[in-house]
Structure 1
Amino acid sequence: MDSVNDTHNKYVAYVLWLFGFMGVHRFYLGRPISGTIYFFTLGLFLVGWIVDLFLIPGMEREADRRFIEGSHSYTLAWVLLTFLGIFGLHRMYLGKYITGVLYLLTGGLFLFGVIYDYWTLNQQVNDKNTEMFY
Structure 2
Amino acid sequence: MLEPKEKDCSEKSWGATLVFCILLGFIGFHRFYVGKAGTAILMLLTLGGFGIWIIVDLVSIIINSFTDEYGRIVKRKKSIDQN
Q: Same fold (TM over 0.5)?
A: yes
Which ranges in structure 2 are unaligned for 5 or more consecutive residues? 75-83
Tell me how many residue pairs correspond in the alignment: 65
TM-align CA RMSD: 2.3
Q: Of the candidates 97, 110, 128, which is equivalent to residue 50 of structure 2?
A: 110
Offset at 1:87? 0.6
**Greater relative contact order (Cα 8 A, min sep 6): structure 1 or 2?**
2
**Structure number with larger C-alpha Rg:** 1
Letter paired with 1:102: L
In structure 2, the partner of 1:128 is 72
Whole-angstrom distance in 1 between the partners of 2:13 and 2:72? 10
> Identity percentage over the alignment?
31
Offset at 1:83? 0.5
Which ranges in structure 1 are unaligned for 5 or more consecutive residues? 1-65
Of Structure 1 and Structure 2, which has the larger fraction of its residues in helix?
1
Change (3 A) 1:125 1:75: farther
Whether the 8 Å contact between 1:87 and 1:107 is mirrored in structure 2 is yes
Whole-angstrom distance in 2 between the partners of 1:107 and 1:125? 21
